[in-house]
Amino acid sequence: MCCLGCGAWARSRFSFDDIPELHSKVAIVTGASSGIGLVTARELARKGCHVILACRSREKTLGVIHDMVKSLLPTATQVEFMQVDLMDLSSVHAFVEAFRQRHLPLHMLINNAGVMAPPFSLSVDGIESQFATNHVGHHALTIGLLPVLEASAPSRVVMVSSRAHVRAPGIDFANMNNPHSYFSWNWYSQSKLANILFARELSRQLEVRNVMNVYINVVHPGVVRTSTTTSHQHWLATLVMSMFELAIDDGAKTQLYVATSDDIVTHNWHGEYFVPIARLGTCDTLGHNAVLGRRLWAFTEALIRESTTSDVHDDCDCLPTATLLPPPCA
């Protein structure tokens, strides 16, 4: 496999036809109004899954749903929109509460949404925008929904990371929100490293509680041509990357594999890292750093507590962080 894990060297061993029948299943896909998130939602719906597109834009997402249901009838009968802004923890909290009040099961949570290398800005809660969207919002969403995932088990959480995590020298806790230290690509890389560390630490905590039927794994979807990636490329970079890029449908296959394949249960895969297409891979050494993972967890929980929505986890006794987490290391 090439160093990017994509393009002509990424031979598919998984197709949309391999997705099992999902008529009794419920899935949430964040960032599902475009790109590989949209393809993921579409293919789950094609197999009869009740799919909730968790997105920020109501108008855009409702238009997408209309087109999706029209094209997939009669199989796609339960596709809907629920609003969430991962840059705003009060919105995440509202989403969690609204979903839990519906008393639906949850079999798949696919944390697909993300931003890549924007100019420096802070979220509503005062957190750097990439870290807020790509990591903190998904952390809060996953923990808020964890009681439902456990009650619905066997269930899956899929964290969509990136090969870019290898460029992160670590997590810069001290300068996270410092505009003078900000370098967009480094901050993107560390947010993708955070996705891996979160998945592995949550898997560890669940194992401590002997909860082995909630499968939390990470995917690198490959380099996929989307509006997000092309907007950051010089023409020469675009030409070079065209040799390595995956078609958008192929870019969704790895997360669909991890969300639906029986292989995950058969091999008892927890906290693993998958590369295109639908292959078990190996993340960078830092992704296996348990001390860093625990420190990130404590740091993230502190950010959530300090936000105006510190009650996101108030009614969730599933993860007593004070007892499972050692003090952060310097």
Measure CA of the first residue to CA of the last residue in the chain; give whole Å: 37
Exactly one of 25, 47, 192, 253 is catalytic; which is it? 192
Judge whether 188 counts as a catalytic residue. yes
Which residues have CB under 8 Å from 252's CB, separation 6+?
36, 37, 39, 40, 43, 221
Are 84 and 98 within 8 A, CB to CB?
no
Phi–psi pair at 147, nearest 5 degrees: -60, -35
Query: Which tokens hold the place of 132?
Result: 């807020």
Distance CA(248)–CA(229), nearest Å, equals 12
Are 154 and 318 within 8 A, CB to CB?
no
Q: What is the CA angle 315-317-322, rounded to 5?
A: 120
Exactly one of 47, 188, 215, 273 is catalytic; which is it? 188
Distance CA(204)–CA(23), nearest Å, equals 31
Catalytic residues: 188, 192
